[in-house]
Amino acid sequence: MDSAAEGTMLNEVKDRDQVAIDSALNGWWTASMQNHEQRISWWREAKFGMFLHWGVYSEAAGAWQGKPVPGYAEHLMRIKKIPRSVYLNLAHHFNPVQFNADTWVKQAKKAGMRYLIITAKHHDGFAMYDSKVSDYNIVKQSAYHKDPMVALSAACKKYGLKFGFYYSHAFDWEHPDAPGNDWDYDNPGGDKKIGGEKWYDNHPEWLPRIQRYVNEKAIPQIKELIQKYHPDILWFDTPHKLPLSENLRILKAIRATDTASEIVINGRLARISGRNFGDYQNTADRPAAFYPVQGDWEAIPTTNESYGYSKFDLSHKPASHFIRLLASAASRGGNLLMNIGPMGSGAFDPKDIKILNGIGAWMAKNDSSIYGTQRSPLPLQSWGVITTKANKIFLHVFEWPKDGHLYVGGLKSPVNKAYMLANQREIISVKRINPLDIMLKLPTRAEDDDTANTVIVLELKDHAPTIQADSLRYVSTNISLSRLLAYDATQHGGKFGFGDGKANRYYVSGWKSKDQYVEWTFRTDFPAQFNIQIKYVSDVASGGRYMMSLDDYQVNRVVDHKPSEKNHTDDGGTVDLPAGIHHLTIKAEAITGPELMKLLEIQLRPLQKD
List, for residues 326-369, the tens digit of each pLDDT value.
999 999 999 999 999 999 999 999 999 999 999 999 999 999 99
CA distance 91 to 247: 29
Query: Which phi and psi angles does 234 have, rounded to 5°?
Result: -125, 140
List, for residues 523-565, the tens digit of each pLDDT value.
999 999 999 999 999 988 899 999 999 999 999 999 977 766 6
Query: Which phi and psi angles does 23 have, rounded to 5°?
Result: -60, -40
Count of Cβ atoms closer than 10 Å to residue 594 Cβ? 13
Q: Where are the alpha helices (DSSP H) in 367-412?
A: none
**Between residues 443 and 472, the one the model is more confident about:** 472
Percent of the chain as helix, strand, coil, to the nearest 5: 30, 30, 45
pLDDT above 70 covers what percent of the chain? Answer: 96
Q: Do residues 265 and 37 make contact, with C-beta atoms less than 8 angstroms apart? A: no
Dihedral over alpha carbons 533, 534, 540, 544 (to 10 degrees): -120
511 vs 273, 502, 544, CA distance in Å?
Answer: 21, 19, 11
Residue 466 DSSP symbol: S
List, for residues 160-210, the tens digit of each pLDDT value.
999 999 999 999 999 999 999 999 999 999 999 999 999 999 999 999 999
Cα angle: 253, vertex 256, 257; to 5 degrees:
85
| String of DSSP letters for 473-519 | EE--TTSS-EEEEGGGSEEESS--EE---STT---EE----TT-EEE
CA distance 160 to 175: 36
Confidence (pLDDT) at 253: 98
- Beta bridge mates, 603: 483, 533
Residue 609 pLDDT class (50, 70, 90 cuts): low
List, for residues 266-308, the tens digit of each pLDDT value.
999 999 888 999 999 998 899 999 998 999 999 999 999 999 9
CA distance 396 to 393: 10
Going by their DSSP bridges, the two strands 63-64 and 67-68 should be labelled as antiparallel
CA distance 525 to 74: 51
CA distance 126 to 172: 9
Going by their DSSP bridges, the two strands 598-607 and 48-52 should be labelled as unpaired
CA distance 149 to 120: 8
Dihedral over alpha carbons 188, 194, 195, 199 (to 10 degrees): 30
**One-letter-per-residue 3-state SS of 333-349:** CEEEEEEECCCCCCCCC
Q: Do residues 58 and 283 make contact, with C-beta atoms less than 8 angstroms apart? A: no
Whether this prediction's pTM lies above 0.85 is answered by yes
- Beta bridge mates, 193: none
> Positive or negative, the Cα torsion across 457, 463, 469, 473?
positive
Q: Look at residues 542, 474, 473, 531 and name the one whose alpha carbon lies nearest to residue 508.
A: 542
Going by their DSSP bridges, the two strands 162-167 and 115-121 should be labelled as parallel
Amino acid at 198: K
Helices 3-25, 244-257: axis angle to 10 degrees equals 30
| String of DSSP letters for 38-78 | HHHHHHHHH-EEEEE--SHHHHHTTEETTEE--S-GGGHHH
List, for residues 587-604, the tens digit of each pLDDT value.
999 999 999 999 999 999
CA distance 416 to 413: 10
Confidence (pLDDT) at 449: 63
Q: What mean pLDDT comes out for the span 315-332? A: 97
> Positive or negative, the Cα torsion across 553, 559, 565, 566?
positive
List, for residues 105-164, the tens digit of each pLDDT value.
999 999 999 999 999 999 999 999 999 999 999 999 999 999 999 999 999 999 999 999
Cα angle: 283, vertex 287, 288; to 5 degrees:
140
List, for residues 390-422, the tens digit of each pLDDT value.
999 999 999 999 899 999 999 999 999 999 999
Amino acid at 363: M
